[in-house]
Chain A
Amino acid sequence: MKKNKSIGRIILYILLIAASIIMLIPFYWMLISSLKLNKDVFSIPMKWIPDTFHFENYKIIWEKLPLLDFFKNTTKLTVITTIVQLFTSCFAAYGFAKMKFAGRNLIFLIYVTTIAVPWQVYMVPQFTMMSKFGLTNSHLGLILLHSFSAFGVFLIRQFYISIPDELCEAARIDGLNEYGIFAKIVFPLGKPAMSTLVIFSFVNEWNDFMGPLIYLDSTNLKTIQLGIRMFISQYGADYAWVMAASVCSLIPVVIIFIFCQRYFVEGVAASGIKG
């Protein structure tokens, strides 16, 4: 009986290790290719560990490409969008979760129904509107588009609902007004939900490709994803450099992921259970 169990365990490990190798091979390949010479990336037989590591690739790409500008632009967009989204979402969530006002349920219903409408459905009219406002080819336009999300309001509201009303009631009796209750009690309690929102918003914004693709034309405004894409179309055959640039674009997200993995998992799980 016991022997059976340990054999099962070994099979389980073999399966899991095989699966994780398949999942991670592309990243490993990206990394080793980025350290090879361009001409050696596809050399046969394939080298899983290069003889020499060409770290200079990482220097070259910074000279070929205004990577620093791309990083700055992406960071700017990501940080501002995430912050605005966080604050407007928390504010609105408090209104929906803890206040009673005429039309509350109707407005919230509109939010919930529009979560389901994919951006691809209204990206065209949205673009024509933004160009009327003169907000295309600008960072402000993209920031405005991504700062008001129904998902954020929904996520935070669900969390605020779980905060007992008695807590707010007690504060009200102590003489705090609604803004005080929000700032001193509910907002600080919302940290877990906020972390999830911040992380998802950060990763989405950092990885966003279609938004910048449609809205940003000038090279000096482009984001890292668009920049890498541009690099690929210009230096497509310089495989090692393309891979080095790809690795650079992944680093910030990898760092966030490693430190905040818990919130990712909780966020996905929450969205899944709720349905």
Chain B
Amino acid sequence: MSTTLASDTVTVFTRELRPVIRDPFSVIFSLVQPLFFLVLFAPLLPDEVGGQSALQWFIPGTIVMSCLFGAGATGANLLFEIQTGAHERMLVSPLRRPALILGRAFKEIVPMFAQTALILVVTIPFGFRLHPGAFLGLALLAVFCVGLGSLSYTLALASKNKEWLFWAIQQTLTFPLLLLAGMMLPLDGAPGWLRTLSLFDPLTYLVNAERALFSGEIFSATVAGGVVAAFATAALGLGVGMRAMRRAVA
């Protein structure tokens, strides 16, 4: 039987997903993190933010945030496999180089969906309203996750034996991106320079689009901005990721 780029991608995707399926508890623990966030942060919110219920405003940001933490840190898994030798073994196999990134990046969608589902299940009883647009929001987030995961893997390939370098860059980038996007607090009352900076954060557009979609808005400039940001992240991530994997030497 001969392989194709698609079958190679499925092989890598299945391999990445397997430990998660074999040991679902590992996922459940990672799901608890956004829940803590909801429980400890949501009570601090006012009743209303930007003219809508605070929960309706807050939840889309939380979902994007858990994607940012999850997919953003996923490169650590590759870093570990570079150190143990599993990555070298895959580089020696006939698996196509782009598949080594694509399969991994697509896998990031799965924990993202699981986390989101949990967040929704927990918050709907507290008055969170699920509009049909939310499903488009999830699709958009999936595109973004693929791009972000791919960037994280690229960072892992670039840091190679220097684990500290991976974490230093990952942490340094994560928090400014997170805060500038107004994920936790609205930037409406922010000083001008902060609002200007936030315009350069692709997450700003994504978070705004998610909020719009989760409150039922579909055809709007805000949503279009998010679509552009998500696809641009995916194109950039997969582009640099495949390039880095092609050049990877062991």
Are A and B subunits of one complex?
no
Which positions in A face B, CB cutoff 8 Å?
Answer: none
